[in-house]
């Protein structure tokens, strides 16, 4: 089974990350985790890889429904 999703955008990597952060915030998503794949590969494997940003961003509405209080 293979799952791939890719997009090409006419802005820099940094601008794309900032636009994505803003779009997630506008839709009530909060970023809980981030992985800079290139930096992680460089640290753990000793070589660079393409720039990929992996983000875990659940909707705060969903989190409120799933996390029991008290």
pLDDT, tens digit, 9 for 90 and up, residues 12-55? 989 999 998 999 899 888 888 888 888 888 888 887 777 888 88
Bridge-partner residues for 54, per DSSP?
35
pLDDT of residue 37: 86
CA 63 – CA 32 distance, rounded (Å): 11
| Cβ neighbours of 50 (radius 10 Å) | 8
pLDDT of residue 70: 60
Identify the pLDDT of residue 56.
84
Q: Which helix (H) or strand (E) holds 62?
A: helix 60-66
> Is the pLDDT reported for residue 67 higher than 70?
no
Query: Residue 66: what pLDDT?
Result: 56
Q: Which two tokens stand for residue 60?
A: 């705060």
């Amino acid at each position: 089974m293979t799952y791939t999703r890719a997009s090409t955008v006419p802005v820099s990597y940094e601008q794309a990350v900032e636009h994505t952060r803003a779009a997630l915030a506008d839709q009530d998503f909060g970023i809980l985790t981030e992985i800079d794949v290139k930096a992680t590969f460089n640290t753990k494997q000793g070589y660079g890889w393409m720039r990929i940003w992996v983000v875990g961003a659940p909707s705060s509405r969903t989190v409120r429904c799933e996390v029991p209080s008290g």
